[in-house]
Structure 1
């Protein structure tokens, strides 16, 4: 019997799969990659060796104010390490500079004080000026012209009006933007809801280039790059983390060039060879990414790449926060089938994109081809079923259901962290 450890919320579960059924385990090498320096040393090394730009110290010299964009509660950016290092460097050169930390919530809910403390540490939360971006507050936005896609580019005016705009984040495979990090701090990070809608339109989501690990010809990425340039994002610090959320590499400098260097590193680490099977087990990497179904779609896309047509995806995700979005939920629950969702969404014009449309479009695409069993002991089973998925309280219960559908001899692929791999 094979015993495999997988993340579930803040726990580690050990699941068992019969040896005769296990076809393979797909893991990013980020999980076994050993950095030869401490997390702090890696961050400082990146800041000392900027890619394609002046150093952070040179950029802050003589400035009166600046904005640091940071990720929200749904992203495991280790800000407790990165922010103190950056702030120390900034104030050593310019002790009187006014610093505003802008939380890039994108289309998510605002990050709570408790979540901020958990992410940044109590000292920073109590001493620094921190603002949650709220994408639906039009009065907080500034118009910067049209995106390549034709949508209006509006971003948080704090970022536009500041003398220096920088961002921190992390780079991992992303299920339609190719990779996270870099330009995503601007779009969707601090963009208006309408701008996010246009960028995440059904036409772009349906593009074969809007997939994990792909930047070239990706229409969503093209819009994002343009937004970062128009916003004058002057500098980024992006890190790569392992399964324990520890920094294993850092990249700093020009928002495009440093990000591309980071993406190359992640691509080499995260690439795995496809093993096609009838049953695929995946997760969303544990907390904080597995708090809801909305985010868990990401982990499902890794399984989608490995699962045979009409196969079964077992998604292990706590989803203690429920579905994660009313529009996301309603557009699935209020339809007779995933196919109906897809037919409906592909008729929606770019500038009429609905909230969470991209997420329910991708989930509907997965559900139209595969049976999904969601393993959670924290979410209402009826809510899961309303979204056209099956529910299981435990992995063993889900595996039993999968075997009933595909037979006791069905082969299984396991992806312990579905958001960390790029399936070739």
Structure 2
């Protein structure tokens, strides 16, 4: 019996898979990567050697004000490590600069006070100016151009008015932008709702290039790059983390060049060869990415890449924060089938995208070909069932159901962290 640890909320579930069923365990090499130095040393080393850019210190010298964009509560960016370093280095050369921290909520809900404390630590939460971007507040955004796709580009007014704009984030495989990090802090991070929806249209989501680990010819990435340039995103600090959410590498400098280098590194670590199976088991990497069903679709796409058509995907995800988007839930729950959802979405024009459409489009795509069993003892089972998935309180129950569907001899591929791999 193979014993495999799978992230679930803030812990690890140890699951048993019969040896004769197990086809493969697919994991990013990031889990075994041995970092050189402490997290602080790694970050400072990257800032000391910026890629394609002047140093952070040179950029802030003589400036009156600036904005630092950071990720929201759904992303495991280790801001307790990175933000103090950024603030210290900035204020060492410019003690009087006005710094505002802007949380890139994108289309998500605002961060709560408690989430800010958890993310930044008490000191920063108490003494820095931290602002949630509100994508649906039309008074807080300004139009700055037209995206290559034709959509209107509206960005956070505060970010556009400040003398200097930089961002922090992390790089991991992303299920339709190719990779997270870099330009994503601007679009969707601090863009208006209408801009996010134009960028996330059904045509782009359906593109063969809008896939995990793919940037070349990716129409979504192309829009995002344009948005970052228009925002004059001058500098980024992007980190790569392991399964324990610890920093193993950092990349700093030009928003495009430093991000590209980071993506190359992640691709080297995260690429795994697909091993097709009747049953695919995965997770969303635990907290904070498995707080809701909306985010959990990301991990499901890794399982989709290895699951045979008609197979079963077992998704281990806490979903303690519910579905994660009312439009996402309603469009799944109110449809008779995933096929109905897909048919309706593909008839929706680029400028007619509705909230959360991209997420229920991808979930419907997965559900049209596979049975999904979501494992959680932290959410409402009826919510899961109404979204055309099966529910199990325990992993053992889910595996039992999967064997009932595919047979006792079904082969199994396990991807312990579905958001951490690029399946080739």
Same fold (TM over 0.5): yes
- Which 4+ stretches in 1 moved above 6 angstroms? none
Counterpart in 1 of 2:169?
A: 169
SS of equivalent residue, structure 1 residue 419: helix
Map of 1:150 onto structure 2: 150
Could you say what secondary structure the match of 1:150 adopts?
coil
Q: Which runs of 5+ in 1 are unaligned?
A: none
1:210 aligns with 2:210: yes
Shift of 1:36: 1.8
> Is 1:118 the equivalent of 2:139?
no
Q: State the Cα distance separating 1:121 from its structure 2 match.
A: 0.5
C-alpha distance after superposition, 1:324-368 (max 9, x if no partner): 110000000001000000000011111110000000000000000
Partner of 1:241: 241
Whole-Å separation in 2 of the counterparts to 1:73 and 1:324: 12
SS in 1 for 2:313: strand
Partners of 2:150 and 2:132 lie apart in 1 by 27
Partner of 1:391: 391
| Other structure's SS at 1:96 match | coil
Q: How does 1:19-418 map to 2 (within 5 A)?
A: 19-418=19-418
Q: 2-side partners of 1:31 and 1:290: how far apart?
A: 19
- Once the two structures are TM-superposed, the CA of residue 302 in structure 1 deviates from its matched residue by 0.2
Separation in 1, partners of 2:372, 2:129: 43
Q: How many angstroms apart in 2 are the aligned matches of 1:275 and 1:25?
A: 9
Gaps of 5+ in 2: none
| CA distance, structure 2, for counterparts of residue 99 and residue 145 of structure 1 | 26
- TM value normalised by structure 1: 1.00
Structure-2 separation of matches of 1:278 and 1:213: 24
- Specify the SS of the correspondent of 2:419: coil
Q: CA deviation at 1:410?
A: 0.4
* Aligned mates of 1:291, 1:165 — CA distance in 2: 30
In 2, distance between residues paired with 1:127 and 1:322? 32
Cα distance, 1:145 vs. partner? 1.2
Quick one: distance in 1 between partners of 2:31 and 2:288? 17
Q: Which deviations, in whole Å up to 9, do the C-alpha atoms of 1:50-87 show, x marking residues without a partner?
A: 00000000000000000000000000000000000010
Report the secondary structure of 1:341's partner residue.
Answer: helix
Q: Deviations over 1:276-308 (max 9, x none)?
A: 000000000000000000000000000000000
- Rounded to whole Å, the distance in 2 between the matches of 1:393 and 1:11 is 16
Q: Which moved more, 1:220-229 or 1:346-355?
A: 346-355
Paired residues, what number? Answer: 424
Please give the per-residue CA displacement for 1:70-117, whole angstroms capped at 9, x wherever unaligned: 000000000000000010000000000000000000000000111001
SS at match of 1:42: helix
